[in-house]
């Protein structure tokens, strides 16, 4: 659909296409965004390595989606709300989550769900699309309290098939909730390609049904992501209601470390996309075109990032082994008989008594 054509500000060769945007892109902004994307990618690769070594549990990688996550989270203000899925650690760390805490989450500790003081970051949502309702509620609460705060919620293309997606958008539209619904369309819901997921041409056009703006952007273009998300947040703060953003991107790796994408996806296609439209490579080309690429800077940056991640791993592994009782004891204030039975059955399986 013509009105939902994909917006792109930075092309694959690192050239800015929009004169207005070029006036807004400072050297500091470009370098800052690159630093955050490089941190995210290095973290992601390290986490996969740790999982393969048995030092983390099953992990959901995101390589290829760094621009979509970093650019959108970077547009937030300190008191905004962020509602991630199980894959949005790049967004969370950009918004101020500690690397140690993110590692703890993937190591099965409840501490991994707790954001730093003063940061409004919800625990990663594993059920598909449920966080959309939470984000709508939080945004409405901020509106009714008279604040200037907004919420952003992340979800994949598969989530648009869930009822919670439609309920959240409808409710937010009716009550003009200051929310941004940020879809990362990586074109596969695990093994289901998007053409089997829906019959509509775009996800952005689904906004029409709810009378809100729908914007489709190149999710590998960090400037398109940042500036369009910032505009949507400004619109929300001005009382104009929610926006649906579809960021078209591509994840190179598996759905999780328990998945094998070679069973359902052409890996040559992934390789071709990496060579042409990789989000870090695109911004690197821009920095080089603008004379902002410095070998010493990038080498020191990579070293600092490596040290930061290694320090977070050390802190994570200094925690005692997670307590399995946490799975049962924190579901309700007082355990129901069903929860207690599950706990008893678990300890019976181990040959001991429930604690």
Residues 262, 264, 156, 75, Cα dihedral to 10°: 40
Instruction: Give me the active site residues, please.
Output: 251, 255, 264
Could you tell me which of 115, 122, 120 has the C-alpha nearest to residue 86? 122
b/e string for 107-145 if b means 16 or more Cβ within 10 A? bbbeebebbeeebbbbebbeebbbbbbbbbbbbbebbee
Say which residue the tokens 């703060």 belong to.
237
Report pLDDT for 354: 58
CATH of the domain at 59: 3.40.50.970
Same domain assignment for residues 169 and 229? yes
| pLDDT tens, position by position, 220-279 | 999 999 999 999 999 999 999 999 999 999 999 999 999 999 999 888 888 898 999 999
Quote the CA–CA distance of 111 and 102 in Å, as a whole number: 9
- On whether both 327 and 317 belong to a single domain, the answer is no
Domain that holds residue 332: 323-355
Whether 329 and 286 map to the same domain: the answer is: no
Query: Going by C-beta distance under 8 Å and a sequence separation of 6 or more, which residues neighbour residue 155?
Result: 85, 128, 129, 131, 132, 165, 181, 182, 183, 184
Q: Does one domain contain both 235 and 86?
A: yes
For 18-75, write each residue's pLDDT tens digit. 999 999 999 999 999 999 999 999 999 999 999 999 999 999 999 999 999 999 999 9
Residues 311 and 350 in one domain: no
Answer yes or no: do 231 and 327 share one domain: no
DSSP string over 234-245: HHHHTT---EEE
Q: Are strands 192-193 and 188-189 parallel, antiparallel or unpaired?
A: antiparallel
């Amino acid at each position: 659909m013509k009105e939902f054509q994909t917006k792109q500000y930075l092309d694959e060769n690192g050239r800015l296409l929009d004169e207005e945007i070029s006036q807004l892109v400072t050297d500091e902004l470009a370098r800052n965004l690159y630093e955050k994307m490089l941190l995210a990618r290095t973290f992601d690769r390290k986490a996969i390595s740790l999982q393969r070594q048995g030092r983390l549990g099953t992990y959901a990688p995101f390589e290829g989606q760094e621009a979509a996550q970093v650019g959108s989270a970077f547009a937030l203000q300190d008191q905004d709300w962020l509602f991630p899925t199980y894959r949005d650690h790049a967004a969370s760390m950009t918004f101020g989550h500690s690397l140690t805490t993110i590692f703890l989450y993937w190591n099965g500790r409840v501490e991994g769900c707790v954001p730093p003081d003063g940061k409004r970051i919800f625990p990663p949502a594993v059920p598909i699309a449920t966080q959309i309702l939470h984000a709508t509620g939080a945004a409405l609460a901020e509106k009714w309290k008279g604040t200037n705060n907004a919420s952003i919620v992340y979800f994949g293309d598969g989530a648009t098939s869930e009822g919670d997606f439609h309920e959240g958008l409808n409710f937010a539209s009716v009550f003009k909730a200051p929310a941004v619904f940020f879809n990362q369309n990586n074109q596969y819901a695990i093994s289901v390609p998007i053409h089997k997921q829906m019959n509509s041409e775009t996800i952005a056009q689904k906004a029409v049904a709810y009378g809100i703006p729908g914007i489709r952007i190149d999710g590998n273009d960090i400037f398109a992501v940042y500036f369009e998300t910032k505009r949507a947040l400004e619109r929300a703060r001005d009382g104009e209601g929610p926006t649906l953003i579809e960021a078209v991107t591509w994840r190179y790796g598996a759905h999780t470390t328990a998945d094998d994408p070679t069973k359902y996806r052409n890996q040559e296609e992934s390789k071709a996309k990496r060579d042409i439209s990789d989000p870090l490579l695109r911004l690197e080309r821009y920095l080089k075109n603008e004379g902002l690429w410095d070998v010493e800077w990038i080498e020191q940056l990579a070293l600092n990032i490596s040290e930061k991640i290694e320090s977070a791993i050390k802190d994570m592994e200094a925690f005692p082994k997670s307590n399995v009782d946490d799975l049962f004891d924190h579901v309700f204030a007082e355990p129901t008989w069903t929860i207690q039975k599950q706990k008893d059955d678990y300890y019976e399986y181990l040959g001991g008594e429930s604690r």
